[in-house]
């Protein structure tokens, strides 16, 4: 496990960086031309939101795009959502700290997504049920109380999970533009980007989300290829490998090497997260539920498996290139990130990749790439905001009201929740000061939801005797995942700490066991089991 990585920049009490660090981050090629390119893209995004509003007639249109998405658009929008700026940032951080050994995470992500595309595991049966959200399946299979509890757990874990998206994405913007030295830059960029996301998500729902994702897919694909090629040309492939070997040894290539940042428990945890990312995580499942047919759904997953792998591989490589550049070609940055003086402030390594790209790319191209990253930022936020707000309304508020909310009221409350969640992530990004690695923070907070969801979906879809009592017990057991967060461990006095991977694996085992014991000890009466298309029959 990679430990001790801060999720906040090293700034003073008044928000001003140490002078030596500020000097190091000033060198960027970002120009007025690049600001213009980014501005044009942002204006286009707002226009998409206004145009998308005309296609919203009911709740299925607002959160499911009318279930009319074809294979090509499905692949593009799946890639657009999952290749968010937060993904680029935490993956680059892994490459910077873990070297080529981090590639095992990408390999698992691609392999598992392909297997889901071949087998249709979980997602096909959900699509056949024509549900809009995962907790909706909970009610059909286990009853209303399970849906409400599941919706609460999903919303809590999901909203906590995206709490740092806004801050980390904004760190990319201020890093690549050279604004990192200004204490006001980060909160200002956070606020502006959030307002833009809220406007077009509230107006257009899933229609504007999918259109924006498609635009982002095209722009980002070009930007990724160009930046990767220029990085290799700048540093040279062999020198990149040699520097990683010299600085990190075998641990820079083998995730199981002694003294490295990973280990067997981490590798096993990443294998499971490969399944989570494509078949359990609601934003990915939302794309499956919006597909026209099961055939196109499975084909979407098979082709998207490539993007599930590339979305990690390329940022890992950027992080590796940033590490090589810092260690061999930029003494000022080396001192900023790895100060020789003991106790001296160090620049947060989340800034390493954007600062490197700011020095590598020429004016014009850097604007295109930044626009692509802003697109990645916005496509992830719109999807997540729409997902969690619809869960709150569809799976908590509406069931509590006896499913009596009209469509206009549900759309109204979904839009209201989008705004409230947006305000929360702005607040959380400004006040959270944990020391967890970003990827580990996301995995742990996400496990609050997906560890229980795994037990309920597998049990509910494939095991006839799975009971509502077992489902409730499994959902409650998933809450133990919060023990993987550093601040929680510190509050409990766990000075040595337990890795997030170990906590995650124990949580999965606990939810599975809770589902099994609850179903055996407290089976549902036969008359309460409702036949359901796609559910187990034997």
Which residues are CB-neighbours of 221 under 8 A, at least 6 positions away? none
Query: In the prediction, which pLDDT does 225 show?
Result: 83
Query: In the prediction, which pLDDT does 13 show?
Result: 32
Query: In the prediction, which pLDDT does 394 show?
Result: 81
Q: Which two tokens stand for residue 274?
A: 């490969």
Cβ-contact 133, 391 below 8 angstroms: yes
Residue 450 DSSP SS3: helix
Query: Alpha-carbon distance 502 to 440, whole Å?
Result: 11
Query: In the prediction, which pLDDT does 407 show?
Result: 78
Specify which residues 11 forms β-bridges with. 17
Residue 26 backbone dihedrals phi, psi, to 5 degrees: -80, -25
Query: In the prediction, which pLDDT does 209 show?
Result: 55
Cβ-contact 155, 396 below 8 angstroms: yes
Query: Alpha-carbon distance 472 to 534, whole Å?
Result: 21
Query: Alpha-carbon distance 306 to 394, whole Å?
Result: 32
Query: Alpha-carbon distance 386 to 376, whole Å?
Result: 16
Query: In the prediction, which pLDDT does 82 show?
Result: 57
Query: In the prediction, which pLDDT does 107 show?
Result: 95
DSSP string, 384-425: HHHHHHHHHIIIIIHHHTTS---HHHHHHHHHHHHHHHHHHH
Cβ-contact 367, 190 below 8 angstroms: no
Which residues are CB-neighbours of 111 under 8 A, at least 6 positions away? 274, 305, 309
What residue ranges define each of the domains in the chain, with the CATH number in brackets? Answer: 27-50+59-426 (1.20.1730.10), 436-538 (no CATH)
Query: In the prediction, which pLDDT does 222 show?
Result: 77
Query: In the prediction, which pLDDT does 220 show?
Result: 72
Rg (CA), the chain: 23
Q: Which one, of 124, 356, 349, lies nearest residue 231 by Cα?
A: 356
Query: Alpha-carbon distance 90 to 446, whole Å?
Result: 15
Query: Alpha-carbon distance 358 to 14, whole Å?
Result: 26
Query: Alpha-carbon distance 134 to 150, whole Å?
Result: 9
Residue 3, exposed/middle/buried by CB under 10 A (0-12, 13-18, 19+)? middle
Angle among Cα 502, 504, 510 to the nearest 5 degrees reads 105
Question: Tens digit of pLDDT per residue, the chain (538 long)?
Answer: 333 333 333 443 333 444 445 555 566 888 889 999 888 877 776 676 566 555 444 444 444 444 444 445 544 555 555 567 888 899 999 999 999 999 999 999 999 999 999 999 999 998 888 887 788 899 999 998 999 999 899 888 888 888 888 888 888 888 888 776 666 788 888 888 888 778 766 665 445 555 556 666 667 777 788 889 999 999 999 999 999 999 999 999 999 998 777 999 999 999 999 999 888 887 778 767 777 788 888 888 888 888 888 888 999 999 999 999 999 998 888 988 888 887 777 888 888 999 999 889 998 888 888 887 887 777 677 778 877 888 888 888 888 888 888 878 887 888 888 889 988 888 888 877 666 678 888 888 889 989 999 999 999 999 999 999 999 999 999 999 988 887 788 788 776 668 889 999 999 999 999 999 999 999 998 765 454 544 444 3
Query: Alpha-carbon distance 69 to 77, whole Å?
Result: 9
């Amino acid at each position: 496990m990679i430990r001790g990585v801060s999720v906040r920049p090293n700034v003073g009490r008044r928000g001003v960086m140490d002078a030596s660090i500020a000097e190091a981050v000033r060198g960027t090629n970002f120009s007025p031309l690049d600001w213009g390119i980014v501005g044009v893209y942002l204006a286009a995004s707002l226009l998409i939101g206004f145009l998308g509003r005309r296609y919203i007639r009911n709740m299925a249109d607002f959160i499911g795009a009318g279930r009319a998405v074809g294979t090509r658009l499905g692949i593009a929008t799946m890639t657009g959502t999952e290749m968010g700026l937060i993904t680029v940032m935490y993956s680059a951080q892994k490459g910077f700290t873990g070297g080529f050994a981090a590639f095992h995470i990408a390999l698992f992500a691609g392999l598992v997504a392909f297997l889901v595309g071949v087998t249709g595991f979980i997602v096909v049966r959900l699509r056949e049920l024509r549900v809009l959200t995962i907790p909706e399946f909970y009610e059909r299979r286990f009853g209303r109380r399970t849906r409400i509890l599941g919706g609460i757990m999903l919303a809590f874990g999901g909203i906590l999970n995206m709490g740092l998206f806004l801050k980390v994405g904004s760190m990319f913007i201020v890093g690549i533009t050279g604004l990192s030295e200004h204490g006001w830059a980060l909160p200002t960029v956070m606020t502006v980007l959030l307002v833009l996301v809220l406007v077009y998500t509230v107006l257009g729902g899933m229609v504007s989300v999918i259109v924006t994702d498609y635009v982002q897919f095209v722009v980002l694909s070009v930007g990724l290829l160009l930046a990767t090629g220029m990085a290799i040309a700048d540093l040279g492939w062999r020198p990149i490998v040699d520097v990683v070997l010299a600085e990190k040894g075998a641990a820079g290539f083998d995730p199981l090497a002694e003294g490295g940042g990973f280990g067997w428990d981490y590798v096993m945890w990443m294998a499971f997260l490969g399944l989570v990312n494509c078949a359990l995580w609601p934003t990915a499942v939302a794309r499956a539920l919006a597909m026209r047919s099961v055939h196109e759904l499975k084909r979407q997953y098979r082709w998207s498996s490539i993007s599930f792998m590339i979305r990690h591989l390329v940022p890992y490589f950027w992080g590796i290139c940033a590490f090589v550049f810092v260690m061999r070609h930029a003494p000022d940055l080396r001192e900023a990130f790895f100060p020789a003086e003991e106790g001296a402030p160090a620049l947060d390594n989340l800034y390493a990749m954007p600062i490197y790209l700011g020095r590598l790319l020429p004016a014009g191209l850097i604007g295109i790439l930044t626009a692509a990253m802003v697109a990645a930022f916005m496509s992830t936020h719109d999807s997540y905001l729409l997902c969690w707000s619809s869960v709150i309304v569809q799976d908590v508020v509406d069931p509590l009201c006896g499913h009596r909310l009209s469509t206009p009221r549900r759309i109204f409350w979904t839009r209201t929740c989008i705004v409230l969640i947006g305000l929360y992530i702005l607040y959380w990004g400004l006040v959270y000061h944990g020391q967890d690695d970003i990827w580990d923070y996301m995995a742990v907070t996400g496990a609050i939801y997906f560890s229980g969801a795994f037990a309920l979906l597998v049990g509910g879809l494939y095991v006839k005797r799975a009971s509502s009592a077992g489902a409730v017990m499994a959902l409650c057991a998933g809450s133990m995942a919060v023990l993987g967060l550093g601040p929680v461990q510190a509050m409990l006095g766990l000075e040595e700490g337990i890795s997030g991977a170990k906590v995650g694996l124990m949580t999965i085992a606990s939810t599975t066991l809770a589902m099994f014991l609850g179903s055996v000890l407290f089976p549902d009466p036969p008359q309460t089991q409702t036949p359901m298309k796609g559910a187990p029959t034997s």
